[in-house]
Every structure is written in structure tokens, then in C-alpha cells.
Amino acid sequence: MFREKFGVLITAMVTPFNEDLSIDYKSLEKIINHLIQSGSTSILITGTTGENPTLTHEEEWELLKKTKEITQTIAGVNIPILFGAGSNCTKTAVEVSQKAEELGADGILSISPYYNKPNQEGISAHFAEIAKGVALPIALYNNPGRTCSSIEPETVYELNKSYPNIVAVKESSGSLDNFTWLSLKAPNIEIYCGDDNLILPSIAIGSHGAISVTSHIAGAEIRSIIDLVGNDKVKEAAKIHSKLFSLFKAVFSSPSPGPIKYALSQLGLCKPYMRLPLTEPATIVRDSLRQILTDLNLNSFSGLKSLV
């Protein structure tokens, strides 16, 4: 259900800003067109990479409206939009999810409650309220490194059994055990890898796709990895993975989305501006990214054709 709608490669899109830190809608149009042309099957907005903690709700609604307008009117395709609607306040998460549904989002990505660290019972109750509040398909987001609260695989399984619109999970725990457990014991849950360096092994053990950051600049190559592994061509996929490995590491070598915004700025797609408390990557990170982009011949929108 989820994969049929959103495809195998969802890019967790940055929110570009002008120098005054207002949303840069001209750059948004360029980025969306680039993502569509380079292999993204769907776009996630207002996620962590989209700096949602610093966006007002009014900005989130406008960003959803503009993204829909760009994809449907300007880009000429109806690419699905996944909306990051999580909160550590259950009431807020429900209200934001309902508003996103009202404005035409195609699905919801909902992160586990952060900071207040609920147990599995609390996490289940939180997601149950969201599932009862909207009809949209929901992908749970497990990222304990950021939230300090992990959604255990068994909890994902039970939620899917009880609420038919909880249909997917973005796994960013770094645990291949979680991928394996879900692929073996929760066949009705579609699993998306949220760690770019684990896309290849996660697909090999049963993941359905990836929600990626590096796909901003290497979408075609990541699509190739997913497709090749799915067709039992792991060695060919591994060659691309090895070439991209330094890029995967560099993109997450500083708090995200700093590195990927800097890389996009080098390609002329947006400026590297971020809202506090995030700051631009250190000089050593920027130098490393520029060198990697040069080494991979990734200096235009044409991508890494020589790697495929």
C-alpha cells in the first residue's frame, strides 16, 4: 500500500531559506524539479531535514501548499507528498496531522515522542490517537538517537494490527536486527531505511525502500542501489555503494541538514542558510564535501552517471 503510493525513494527535503531566513520558494521550485528529474519517487517535507523544529505551523501549511503547486502545476507531475507531523505532545501531533490531511498531504510521517521519553505503552497510545484522528497512511519514524525514545519492532507490529492506516516505518535506529525482525514477523509493515549508509544491507534483508537525505544529490545512484539489490544484483549495487560511501558519511558529519544544504549550495540549488540553533558546517566539513563532489564528478545536475 505505502510503497505503491510513495515508491522506493523518498527524499527528506530541505527547507531552503533566504538570507533573512524567510522560506526561499524560488529555490524550493529548483530543488523539487531536480529531485523529480533525479529519481525521487516522493518528497518528505517538514521533517528533521526540513528543519521543522524552527518552522511555525503557518509556514508548514504554506510549504505544503507551495510544494503541491510546484509538483502539480510547474513540474507537471503529481508526485506524492509525505508530511512530517510528529510532536512530543500527542494533541499537537493529532491536530497537525489533521491539518496536513485537510490541505492535501498524501501521507504522514510521525516521529516517536521526544524528550519526555515515554515507555512502549505511552508510545502506542500516542500513535493510536494519531491513527484514529486521520485517514491518511501513516509511517512511524524511529530515530532514538534524536528522540531518546525507541519504537520497538513489536510495538510497530501491534500498532499495524490494530490500526490499518499505520502501514510503514522509517527505521533510523542503525539496528539491522530491527529490519530483520520486522521483515520476518511483520509482513504487513513496509520498512524504509532512514540511514543512507545502510540502504544496501537493509534492502537485502527486506526493506522496501529508503527515506534519504543524500538523494538530494545522488538520487539516481541510490535508486540504482535499491533496484539492483531487488533484482539480486548485490555485487553491482555494492560497487555504487562503495563509491558513495564517503558522500554518505560526509552528509552526516555535521548536524543535518547543514552538510546537504552546503552541497546543494555548491550546485546552485539553494543557499546554505539555516535557522538557529543550527549553524553552518565547519570549514573542514565544507572542504571535505567540495572535494568529494569533485572526486565523484558531481558538479552538475547530471549526477554520477559513470557509477551506474
Any catalytic annotation for residue 141?
Answer: yes
Q: State whether residue 247 is helix, strand or coil.
A: helix
Cβ contact 222:216 at 8 Å = no
> Which is catalytic among the residues 141, 157, 192, 262?
141
DSSP state string for 5-72: HH-SEEEE----B-TTSSB-HHHHHHHHHHHHHTT-SEEEESSTTTTGGGS-HHHHHHHHHHHHHIII
Cβ contact 273:65 at 8 Å = no
To the nearest 10 degrees (0 to 180), the angle between helices 234-251 and 258-266 is 100
Cell of 250: 560526509
Euclidean distance between CA atoms 126 and 149, whole angstroms: 12
Euclidean distance between CA atoms 237 and 111, whole angstroms: 30
Cβ contact 193:142 at 8 Å = no
> Which is catalytic among the residues 30, 68, 157, 170?
170
Any catalytic annotation for residue 68?
Answer: no
Cβ contact 111:86 at 8 Å = yes
Closest CA to 170 of 9, 5, 1: 9
Euclidean distance between CA atoms 196 and 222, whole angstroms: 9
β-strands 81-84, 107-111 pairing: parallel
Catalytic positions, please? Answer: 141, 170
